[in-house]
Structure 1
Amino acid sequence: MATDLVLCAQAVSTLLGWIYFLCWSLSFYPQPILNWRRQSTRGFGIDFPTLNVLGFAAYTMSTGAMLFSPTIRAQYAYRYPSAPESTVRVNDFVFALHAVIVCIVIYSQFYIWGFEVGRDQKISRTSLGIFWGNVLGVAVVVVVVLVRGRDGGNDPSSWAWIDVIYALGYVKLLITIVKYIPQAWINYKRKSTVGWAIDTILLDISGGILSNMQLFIDSALEGDWSGITGNPVKFGLGNVSILFDVIFLVQHYALYRGATKIVEGQSRDEENPERRPLLDERRRSSGLQRDSQV
């Protein structure tokens, strides 16, 4: 009976993993599709895809190392002897790799697709600082492992290569914490969520809930909650995503619901009132020219 329950729990964990993988993977597509339909990136902050590229590149490297590097797997087992198998799964790595590719595509929509891009759609200095600060932080950890680690970083009892992997994981966690803030602020300033695909949020919150469920099941199967403490990035990702998803859902369906309906029915010129005076002036000039010709 106990064996059957374990097998059942393992099957549920696998199923949850691939469902959340689908939810999170599909969540990347509503935004570029919306940008393409509108032929515009207005209303969508460039900070979000810029930070996402770095975050998911780091996550791809960290999950890949946890799965495929014998050195990292051995160091993890040494650090967590009561639960020597990491709770990172293949679906985590596939999701991360897919995500970084799609994020690069989304980022490129600001530059090479010919879409309408607002003059104010530039990455903030704060986001740039976070971007390069994270890159520098990982570089510092690499240097520390090389200088202070034993046996070239292969001894897990001191500074080791697994610490670099954890640094990459924390880069992803930090990026996840901060990347939503600029978009939430843009929505607040505009009092509208137009240009921000809400389908992304619905899929994202589903993935976050399912990710946490899988993590708890896996830890229970290991009989040790170090499955969570040993994989804080996955646990943190799910909960941070859920928190910000709730904020975006409140903005879209409660705070700015009326504004969303009004603006969505407008043309692109009406959606961007700062452009109207110039357009109106051109129309007046054209009218004057026709009158003079008559």
Structure 2
Amino acid sequence: MADSSDDSSGPLESVSFLFGWVYFLCWSLSFYPQPILNLRRGSTTGTTIDFPAINVLGFIAYFLSNASFLYSPRIREEYALRHHGLTPTVQFNDLAFAGHAVIVSAITLSQFWPSLWGFEKRARRDPGVRVSKGILGIIIGSLVGVAAVTGIVSARKDEDPKTAWAWIDAIYALSYVKLVITLVKYMPQVSTNYRNRSTEGWSILQILLDFAGGVFSILQLIIDSYLQGKWDGLTGNPVKLALGNVSIFFDIIFMIQHYCLYNDTHGKAGEDDTFQDEERRDERIE
């Protein structure tokens, strides 16, 4: 493992910086194809409200945890106590990505209220119109879990933060909310595509960008850990590591659904509608 004082640290730091902003760009852009596709189609048919609903909570939690690791002296001190004096591998691009994701996810979520956008109304029993019980349970459970950890930390605030409950654990609880949400948020859409035998209404472009973002996010984290000379940068930032790996896993599933399993005219619609105008889309349908 290289020491941060090695001659190679300078170029590697530049590569890490580059990869960080490339992943920020890819992941940030991945949020736009779906709301743009919804807007062009004037409908959210083919998508589920579960995805943007749980995304909003997940990225709020991710934003707060990143902000704490970046700017809270207490959290950074407690992190150093537990990780050989190292600093968190959270970067500013992580915070910028999370903040941007909260805003765009909220906009996408608002599209499920047709009157706000002039969309066609969907039947209340149409799959995906209402938040599913499973996702609602995860949302409530996440809030209760964070509140419970915060209560425990408040009650034991005078103990040694290196070995006992500390405020960093409350921040980790926030980040684990994002981890849990990342593990489950794609499942309703995978199920919807399977049930419809089509990926129509689900933008494949967002998946391709998401895949690229996941790859560069993991690469940046590996480089940052290498520069620190220990793998604590990976274990100390489990959410960023999981975000990349889980996203890549599900992106591959979506690509298989789109390009292999449901490789038909309707399934391909999502690839082109983001850029085609309404006239061209109508001509294709005819």
Q: Do these two structures clear the TM 0.5 threshold for a shared fold by scoring above it?
A: yes
Could you tell me whether the CA contact under 8 Å between 2:201 and 2:269 is conserved in 1? no
Matches of 1:260 and 1:144, distance apart in 2: 52
Divergent runs of 4+, >3 A: 154-157, 261-267
Q: 1:219 to 1:188 in 2, by over 3 A?
A: same
Q: 1:117 to 1:253 in 2, by over 3 A?
A: farther
Supply the RMSD in Å over aligned alpha carbons. Answer: 1.9
Report what 1:54 is aligned to: 57
Deviation at 1:259, TM superposition (A): 4.9
Question: Which SS does the other structure have where 1:150 is aligned?
Answer: coil
Q: 1:100-115 residue pairs with structure 2 within 5 A?
A: 100-111=102-113, 112-115=116-119
Report what 1:282 is aligned to: none
Q: 1:203-218 residue pairs with structure 2 within 5 A?
A: 203-218=209-224
Report what 1:97 is aligned to: 99
Mean alpha-carbon deviation: is it higher for 35-44 or for 106-115? Answer: 106-115
Deviation at 1:11, TM superposition (A): 0.5
Matches of 1:91 and 1:263, distance apart in 2: 33
Could you tell me whether the CA contact under 8 Å between 1:44 and 1:195 is conserved in 2? yes
Q: 1:1-294 residue pairs with structure 2 within 5 A?
A: 3-81=6-84, 84-111=86-113, 112-119=116-123, 120=126, 121-150=129-158, 155-260=161-266
Could you tell me whether the CA contact under 8 Å between 1:41 and 1:117 is conserved in 2? no
Matches of 1:5 and 1:132, distance apart in 2: 47
Question: Which SS does the other structure have where 2:170 is aligned?
Answer: helix
Deviation at 1:261, TM superposition (A): 5.2
Deviation at 1:266, TM superposition (A): 8.6
Task: Give ranges in structure 1 of 5+ residues lacking alignment.
Answer: 271-294
Greater fraction helix:
1
Matches of 2:251 and 2:21, distance apart in 1: 21
Question: Which SS does the other structure have where 2:230 is aligned?
Answer: coil
Amino acid at match of 1:50: A
Deviation at 1:260, TM superposition (A): 2.5
Aligned length: 265
Matches of 1:144 and 1:157, distance apart in 2: 14
Larger C-alpha radius of gyration, 1 or 2? 1
Deviation at 1:122, TM superposition (A): 1.1
Deviation at 1:205, TM superposition (A): 0.3
Amino acid at match of 1:246: I
Q: 1:261 to 1:191 in 2, by over 3 A?
A: closer
Q: 1:123 to 1:207 in 2, by over 3 A?
A: same
Matches of 1:129 and 1:3, distance apart in 2: 49
Deviation at 1:147, TM superposition (A): 1.5
Deviation at 1:174, TM superposition (A): 0.5
Matches of 1:256 and 1:43, distance apart in 2: 14
Question: Which SS does the other structure have where 1:244 is aligned?
Answer: helix
**TM-score calculated relative to the size of structure 1:** 0.86
Amino acid at match of 1:170: Y
Could you tell me whether the CA contact under 8 Å between 2:27 and 2:213 is conserved in 1? yes
Matches of 1:184 and 1:174, distance apart in 2: 17
**TM-score calculated relative to the size of structure 2:** 0.88
Question: Which SS does the other structure have where 1:87 is aligned?
Answer: coil
The percent of aligned pairs where both chains have the same amino acid is 53
Task: Give ranges in structure 2 of 5+ residues lacking alignment.
Answer: 271-279
